């Protein structure tokens, strides 16, 4: 026995991680070694393919051995599609190290490979049957590759000069071991593909549990399937029951396609429409034989589609297309059906959550709107009761609570309109200082009830600003009410108005230009650094610095951010505040600009 490294067989091509594998070969008698060595190499290369990370490497190594043994100018392994009558170039190598275009096709009957397969033996031909080699070759030979009754294709050689007898002799001797090695490579290739398919189930499960946003979920899923399994096109369509159509919601393609997001086709139209209508999976080995095929890319040759079902109800379809006829089989379909089950459940969950959120918001809007009227009546009644000194403390407390509730209700209603993009801002040039003084007058009763001093500091150099006075007044009211809520008795809340260039601004408008700065300061416990960004989120809860103090910012600050951004401004918490909380609000100054539409913030 001789221990031999694959490096000595194929030193120019295979990477060290693969050809450093050690193989054991029988030592042939010296008289037969030259004839038997290529056969032994091919056998061993086929067996060692299991250690290769890329299965192209062992096949290329086998072709190199064939070229060295036969003196041919080129060698190619051709797969045969008898159903379509096509020969398909799978692997190739020339003596100079070149590679022909893999995936090339030719009519089977017109190729030497087809003649060899049909005859069941090696055949030769002149240059007119040169495919897949250039026409300038002098001689071509081909031998069928088969294991028992299973045909694998054909081995085709090109000779630079006529040497038919020698070429045929060596070709026939090498065809058997090449078929065995090729079978091993194909089995490994198929096994690795199956392992990848099964791993896909885990990846898809992770994706669909990582987000509840439907569009993100669908796009991540199709991208993952295509990238991992190498399909030409992967798409998901959802059924629109009112229109009786399947609407494309996510697609991932290796090449440009004719269908864009939003494209729809009738139930029953095309393989996808048929699958969505019947609820049954469909496998099309060759789309050229399918009368109901709807093309989305010229390269597609095979297609399979699985229904997305929740119980007996079809909600959509998962569609896959490949650029190779017959490349999709029952195993692929089984894996795709398992993935489709995961996707269908995730789509149902995402749609249910979205519907619940919509109903909740509509209900909240209705209740809040209905609350506004009785509270306004209570405020008017309290104004009539203030004439009695005996009732004054209780009246002030009731008025304070009503004022806070009106600020909250107004903010919630406006927030919903801003998020929906239905709120129009109407800026008019006005005095920011007057706006601040008006807010403080309205909230004076709240400050007095809480025994907190409420003050204004307006810089005389403050320019006019184009503001929607009602909207910005509600922003200031929310900030002041929050400050009063968190400031202990005896404390102070201050509203400052100054030009942008006054000390302490720290930021600029997103679009640049002159600005007015509003600042609301309090002497409360302050906001911990880790909460300074998230307090502007809806329903945020903040732990105050003092132990045991826990406050919900609810929807007030979320409304403030939306309203400020609708003006082209910016709002933030001062990170340098040494005590209490300091909110800054920067808004454009100068002449009124065209009223911007409120920006819709993603949920």
SS3 of 41-85 = HHHHHHHHHHHCCCCHHHHHHHHHHHHHHHCCCEEEEEEEECCCC
Among residues of the chain, what percentage have pLDDT more than 70? 67
Encode pLDDT of 248-266 as tens digits: 999 999 888 888 899 999 9
In angstroms, the first-to-last Cα distance of the chain is 71
Q: Is the peptide bond before 132 cis (omega within 30 degrees of 0)?
A: yes
Residue 538: closest CA among 399, 365, 419, 375 = 419
Sequence-distant (≥ 6) Cβ neighbours of residue 246 within 8 angstroms: 237, 238, 239, 240, 264, 265, 266, 267, 272, 273, 276, 316, 317
Encode pLDDT of 93-112 as tens digits: 888 877 776 767 788 887 88
| Vertex 307 angle, CA 305 and 311, to 5° | 165
Rounded distance between C-alpha atoms, residue 154 and residue 421, angstroms: 65
Q: How far is CA 59 from CA 40, 43, 64, 186, 275, in A?
A: 15, 11, 9, 10, 39
Considering only 187-196, 326-335, 459-468, 478-487, which range has the smallest mean pLDDT? 187-196
| Vertex 425 angle, CA 535 and 558, to 5° | 10
Rounded distance between C-alpha atoms, residue 492 and residue 119, angstroms: 101
DSSP-based three-state secondary structure for 532: coil
**pLDDT at residue 595 greater than cutoff 50:** no
* Sign, Cα dihedral of 64, 69, 71, 76: negative
pLDDT recorded at residue 504: 54
Rounded distance between C-alpha atoms, residue 423 and residue 565, angstroms: 12
pLDDT recorded at residue 395: 67
Structure tokens at 58: 């062992």
Residue 33: closest CA among 55, 10, 4, 58 = 4
pLDDT recorded at residue 600: 42
Contact status, residue 553 vs residue 482, Cβ threshold 8 Å = yes
Rounded distance between C-alpha atoms, residue 85 and residue 290, angstroms: 17
Question: pLDDT band at 598, cuts 50/70/90?
Answer: very low
Sequence-distant (≥ 6) Cβ neighbours of residue 447 within 8 angstroms: 453, 454, 484, 493
pLDDT recorded at residue 377: 57
Does the predicted TM-score (pTM) go above 0.75? no
- Return mean pLDDT, the chain: 75
Rounded distance between C-alpha atoms, residue 506 and residue 497, angstroms: 15
DSSP-based three-state secondary structure for 407: helix
Average pLDDT over residues 188-213: 65
Contact status, residue 427 vs residue 593, Cβ threshold 8 Å = yes
Encode pLDDT of 334-352 as tens digits: 778 888 888 888 888 777 7
Question: pLDDT band at 9, cuts 50/70/90?
Answer: very low
More confident residue, 68 or 372: 68
Residue 319: closest CA among 359, 244, 269 = 269
Helix ranges restricted to H, 443-525? 444-450, 469-486
**pLDDT at residue 247 greater than cutoff 90:** yes
Long-range CB contact pairs, 124-129, < 8 A, 24+: 124/164, 124/167, 124/168
Tally of CB atoms within 10 A around 346: 22
Sequence-distant (≥ 6) Cβ neighbours of residue 603 within 8 angstroms: 357, 419
Task: Give me the half-sphere count of Cα atoms (radius 13 Å) on the Cβ side of residue 292.
Answer: 16
Average pLDDT over residues 15-32: 34
Helix ranges restricted to H, 211-325? 214-229, 270-278
Q: Is 332 exposed, middle or buried (0-12, 13-18, 19+ CB in 10 A)?
A: buried
DSSP-based three-state secondary structure for 9: coil
Rounded distance between C-alpha atoms, residue 250 and residue 258, angstroms: 14
Rounded distance between C-alpha atoms, residue 490 and residue 453, angstroms: 7
More confident residue, 273 or 28: 273
For 502-531, letters b (16+ CB in 10 Å) and e give: eeebeeebeeeeebbbbbbbbbbbbbeeee
């Amino acid at each position: 026995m001789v221990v031999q490294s694959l490096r000595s067989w194929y030193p120019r091509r295979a990477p060290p991680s693969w050809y450093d594998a050690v193989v054991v070969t029988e030592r042939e008698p010296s008289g037969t070694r030259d004839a038997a060595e290529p056969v032994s190499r091919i056998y061993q290369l086929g067996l060692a393919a299991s250690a290769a990370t890329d299965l192209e490497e062992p096949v290329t190594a086998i072709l190199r051995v064939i070229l060295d043994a036969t003196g041919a100018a080129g060698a190619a392994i051709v797969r045969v599609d008898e159903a379509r009558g096509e020969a398909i170039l799978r692997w190739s190598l020339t003596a100079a190290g070149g590679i022909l275009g893999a995936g090339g096709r030719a009519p089977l009957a017109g190729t030497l490979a087809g003649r060899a397969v049909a005859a069941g033996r090696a055949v030769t031909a002149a240059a007119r049957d040169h495919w897949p080699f250039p026409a300038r070759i002098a001689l071509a030979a081909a031998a069928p590759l088969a294991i028992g009754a299973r045909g694998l294709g054909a081995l085709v050689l090109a000779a630079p000069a006529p040497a038919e007898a020698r070429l045929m002799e060596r070709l026939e001797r090498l065809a058997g071991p090449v078929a065995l090695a090729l079978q091993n490579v194909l089995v490994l290739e198929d096994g690795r593909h199956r392992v990848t398919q099964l791993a896909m189930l885990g990846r898809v499960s992770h994706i669909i549990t990582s987000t509840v946003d439907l569009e993100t979920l669908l796009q991540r899923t199709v991208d993952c399937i295509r990238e991992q399994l190498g399909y030409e096109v992967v798409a998901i369509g959802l059924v629109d029951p009112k229109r009786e159509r399947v609407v494309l919601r996510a697609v991932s393609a290796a090449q440009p396609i004719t269908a864009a997001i939003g494209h729809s086709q009738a139930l029953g139209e095309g393989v996808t429409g048929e699958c969505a209508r019947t609820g049954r999976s469909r496998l099309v080995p060759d789309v050229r034989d399918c009368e109901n095929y709807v093309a989305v890319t010229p390269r597609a040759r095979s297609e399979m589609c699985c229904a997305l079902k929740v119980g007996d109800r079809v909600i959509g379809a998962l569609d896959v297309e490949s650029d190779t006829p017959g490349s999709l089989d029952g195993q692929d379909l089984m894996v795709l059906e398992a993935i489709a089950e995961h996707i269908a459940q995730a789509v149902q969950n995402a749609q249910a959550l979205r519907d619940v959120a919509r109903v909740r918001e509509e209900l909240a809007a209705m209740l809040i709107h209905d609350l506004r009227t009785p509270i306004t009546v209570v405020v008017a009644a309290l104004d009539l009761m203030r004439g009695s000194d005996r009732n004054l403390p209780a009246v002030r407390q009731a008025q304070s609570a009503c004022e806070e509730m009106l600020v909250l209700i107004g903010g919630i209603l406006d927030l919903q309109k801003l998020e929906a993009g239905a709120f129009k801002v109407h800026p008019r040039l006005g005095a920011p200082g007057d706006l601040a003084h008006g807010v403080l007058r309205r909230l004076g009763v709240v400050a007095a009830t809480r025994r907190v001093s409420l003050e204004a500091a307006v810089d005389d150099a403050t320019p006019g600003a184009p503001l929607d006075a009602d909207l910005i007044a509600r922003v200031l009211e929310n900030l002041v009410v929050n400050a009063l809520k968190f400031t202990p008795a005896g404390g102070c809340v201050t509203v400052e108005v100054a030009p942008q260039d006054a000390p302490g601004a720290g930021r600029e408008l997103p679009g640049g230009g002159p600005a007015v700065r509003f600042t609301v300061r309090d002497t409360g416990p302050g906001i911990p650094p880790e909460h300074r960004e998230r307090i502007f989120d809806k329903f945020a809860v903040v732990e105050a610095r003092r132990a045991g103090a826990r406050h919900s910012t609810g929807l007030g600050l979320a409304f403030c951010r939306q309203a400020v951004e609708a003006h082209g401004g910016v709002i933030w918490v001062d990170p340098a505040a040494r005590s209490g909380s300091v909110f800054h609000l920067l808004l454009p100054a100068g002449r009124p600009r065209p009223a911007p539409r409120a920006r819709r913030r993603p949920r």
